[in-house]
Amino acid sequence: MALRDILILPDKRLRLVSHPVDTIDRDVKTLVDDMFETMYRVRGIGLAAVQVGVPKRVVTLDVARRENEEEQQNPRVFINPQVVWSSDELSVYEEGCLSIPEINEDVERPAQVKIRYLDLDGKPQEADAEGLFATCIQHEIDHLNGILFIDHISKLKRDRIVKKFTKAAKRAREDA
């Protein structure tokens, strides 16, 4: 296992649409292991492969510890996940993102979704999601489609955030 660098806004690779995984081989399993190590190191609850520079449709999640700090880890892997149903009922959750650090905004999404995906053994699975799980899996599937959570907020707020991160990236390049 190895830590991977997380891409930070305004990195253009965050806007890539990820490719489906055709074969779950050793490389994919290594990617998943690395994603969990990276996600846990920065205390995240979800990570899409594209956030570590690999545009494949792979997501790691662990919302258990966020809901209850005493609870054990409950790592979950979703390969080629897709939302196949979403509720008309919406919910608002304050979202953040490892690729847009220290920014949190309220985002409205369907309160419940049904997803289809492959597990790490390549077996088709379905899951019903609600609450934090529903929010998080939708957020990560958005990443696989080149969509960031800030795309769900007002243009004014989004533009301010992008400008802030673009300036910070420019300063970092100048200082390097």
> 82: which residues sit within 8 A by CB, 6+ positions away?
115, 116, 117, 141
In the set 69, 108, 140, 174, the catalytic residue is 140
Say whether 140 is catalytic.
yes
> 126 near 78, Cβ under 8 Å?
no
Distance CA 57, CA 141 (A): 8
Distance CA 57, CA 68 (A): 28
Please list the active-site residues: 140
